[in-house]
């Protein structure tokens, strides 16, 4: 196992009715900016619960953060923060709202000239406003991690800083009942692929990390389809298991002390930036192709995945791996996800542009061995057709 330092100080309030816990989390003299997206929180009752929990605070609101949050939208929150002396940000929504709030929190106290440098130049931030989260879509893990992804003019880039890790997060599975099937599927598959990007590399004898990861994958495979099926759609235990899996998949725990890949995400970001495909739907297209093209480097872990996650014991090593990849694709399809570029109306003619974008963004040595060059990314995209 590799050396690591691990901490995650986000306090989690999990379960039905926990939005009221905000009252004890945010100091009553704090001036709060409640930040949300396109309005789903108004129709599912989350907004009302938040308003009730903030009864002792002075608060303002900023809405309209879109999926794949845009820089141009986020910076509009900055004058509001200055004008009202905001000192706490409450993100109410999915990963896009949480990521957007992380950028706003850092940009509000940024000492440099141009807040875009936080993302584009990975400029060091010295301070950020404190963030609390009411999560409405289990997927990204953003509610307890230090990452954020921001888009500007079609360029989608991440930044990471411990200063933007949320102070607390409310995870109420009941608020996920209003999600569309598409968003449920996106969330389950995003969490699945976060787990895979930290698991499907090479063996460093990280048994705890491996078995945690395999448990998360199996939970998502079991519970994901139940959240779509009529008879189990409103089962809160199903929603709770999905929600907790998504948080655990990207809170730093399973990635500590083990190699990580993230090539699927980096290639996927270009698909979203260029073609506006939902984040998770880019991943379900790219991951099977990464598994095939990088089979040799990932051989040991692919076999472990086949045996422990899919219980495949018959056949040669190559047959076991091929079957595990097929079952992974079947799982994605059972969740209504695309698994090929052709499923989203893209083809060979789109690949040059995607490879060029990877180059522009410095994504020239991806993967756990940094050997996914632009040529290999091209092979992956060709494999995905
Ligand atoms: O805007 P509203 O009206 O709230 O609607 C949203 C949005 O349209 C809707 N929604 C959310 N909760 C709902 C709901 N609708 C009904 N009921 C609810 N309870 O869902 C739509 C999608 O929301 P979004 O926040 O965009 O989805 P998600 O959580 O999947 O976030 C995706 C973003 O996170 C980034 C992605 O790149 C993408 O920009 N990621 C962030 C990561 C991180 N910070 O660690 C890691 C991930 O890999 C990912 O890259
Ligand atoms: Zn993701």
Average pLDDT on 59-66 reads 98
Measured between alpha carbons, how far is 221 from 197 in angstroms, rounded to an integer? 16
> Tokens for 273?
């930036």
Residue whose pair of structure tokens reads 């500007």 in the numeric block: 152
Residue 359, phi-psi category: left (phi > 0), alpha (psi -120 to 50), beta (remainder) = alpha
Q: Which mutation among 45, 137, 138, 146 tests ligand 1's pocket best, with the greatest number of atoms within 8 A of CB?
A: 137
Closest residue by CA, ligand 1 atom 28: 95
Domain residues of the chain, as ranges?
11-174, 184-383
Contacts of 120 (CB under 8 A, 6+ apart): 152, 157
Average pLDDT on 303-312 reads 98
Q: Are 337 and 280 in contact (CB under 8 A)?
A: yes
Average pLDDT on 81-99 reads 98
Q: How confident is the model at residue 41 (pLDDT cuts 50, 70, 90)?
A: very high
Closest residue by CA, ligand 1 atom 43: 142
Residue 293: name the closest of 266, 319, 264 by CA. Answer: 264
Closest residue by CA, ligand 1 atom 16: 179
pLDDT of residue 278: 96
Dist. CA 216 → ligand 1 center (Å): 20
Same fold, 11-174 and 184-383: no
Instruction: Read off the DSSP letter of residue 220.
Output: H
Measured CA to CA in angstroms, residue 12 lies from 165, 171, 240, 253 at distances of 12, 7, 13, 15
pLDDT of residue 325: 98
Atom of ligand 1 nearest to the CA of 272: 37
Domain 11-174, classified CATH 3.40.50.1970, yes or no: yes
CATH superfamily of domain region 184-383: Dehydroquinate synthase-like - alpha domain (1.20.1090.10)
Dist. CA 2 → ligand 1 center (Å): 32
Closest residue by CA, ligand 1 atom 41: 140
pTM of the predicted model, to two decimals?
Answer: 0.97
Which ligand does the CA of 149 lie closest to? 1
* Model confidence at 156: pLDDT above 90: no
* Model confidence at 154: pLDDT above 90: no
Q: How confident is the model at residue 255 (pLDDT cuts 50, 70, 90)?
A: very high
Q: How confident is the model at residue 360 (pLDDT cuts 50, 70, 90)?
A: very high
Q: What percent of the chain has pLDDT over 70?
A: 100
Dist. CA 83 → ligand 2 center (Å): 34
Average pLDDT on 305-311 reads 98
Closest residue by CA, ligand 1 atom 47: 140
* Model confidence at 280: pLDDT above 90: yes
Output the ligand 1 site: residues, CB below 6 A.
37-41, 44, 67-68, 93-97, 99, 136-137, 139-142, 145, 147-149, 175-176, 178-179, 183, 186-187, 190, 250, 265, 279
For residue range 103-135, list pLDDT tens digits in order: 999 999 999 999 999 999 999 999 999 999 999
Q: What percent of the chain has pLDDT over 90?
A: 99
Mean pLDDT, the chain, rounded, equals 97
Task: Dump the DSSP string for 130-153.
Answer: -EEEEE-S-SS-TTTSSEEEEEET
For residue range 11-28, list pLDDT tens digits in order: 999 999 999 999 999 999
pLDDT of residue 148: 97
Average pLDDT on 146-162 reads 93
* Model confidence at 160: pLDDT above 90: yes
């Amino acid at each position: 196992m590799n050396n690591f330092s691990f901490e995650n100080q986000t306090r989690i309030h999990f379960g039905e009715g926990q939005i009221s816990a905000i009252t004890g989390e945010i100091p009553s003299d704090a001036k709060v900016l409640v930040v949300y997206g396109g309005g789903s929180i108004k129709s599912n009752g989350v907004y009302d619960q938040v308003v009730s929990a903030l009864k002792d605070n002075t608060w303002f609101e900023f809405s309209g953060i879109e999926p794949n949050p845009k820089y141009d939208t986020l910076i509009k929150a900055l004058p509001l923060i200055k004008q009202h002396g905001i000192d706490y940000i409450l993100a109410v929504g999915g990963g896009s709202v949480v990521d957007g709030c992380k950028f706003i929190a850092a940009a509000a106290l940024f000492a440099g000239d141009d807040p875009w440098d936080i993302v584009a130049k990975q400029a060091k931030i010295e301070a950020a406003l404190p963030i609390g989260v009411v999560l409405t879509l289990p997927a990204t893990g953003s509610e307890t991690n230090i990452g954020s992804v921001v888009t500007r003019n079609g360029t989608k880039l991440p930044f990471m800083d411990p200063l933007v890790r949320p102070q607390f997060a409310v995870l109420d599975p009941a608020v996920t009942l209003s999600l569309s099937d598409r968003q449920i599927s996106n969330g389950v598959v995003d969490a699945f692929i976060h787990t895979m990007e930290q698991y499907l590399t090479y063996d460093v004898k990280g048994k705890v990390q491996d078995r945690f990861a395999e448990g998360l994958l199996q939970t998502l495979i079991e519970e994901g389809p139940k959240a779509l099926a009529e008879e189990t759609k409103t089962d809160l235990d199903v929603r709770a298991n999905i929600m907790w899996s998504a948080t655990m998949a990207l809170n730093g725990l399973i990635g500590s002390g083990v190699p990580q890949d993230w090539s699927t995400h980096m290639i996927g970001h270009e698909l979203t930036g260029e073609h506006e495909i939902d984040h998770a739907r880019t991943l379900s297209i790219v991951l099977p192709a990464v598994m095939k093209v990088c089979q040799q480097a990932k051989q040991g872990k692919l076999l472990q995945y086949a045996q422990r996650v899919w219980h495949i014991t018959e056949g040669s090593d190559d047959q076991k791996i091929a079957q595990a990849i097929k079952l992974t694709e079947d799982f994605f399809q059972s969740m209504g996800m695309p698994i090929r570029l052709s499923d989203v109306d893209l083809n060979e003619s789109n690949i040059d542009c995607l490879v060029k974008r990877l180059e522009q963004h410095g994504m020239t040595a991806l993967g756990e061995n940094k050997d996914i060059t632009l040529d290999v990314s091209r092979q992956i995209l060709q494999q995905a057709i």
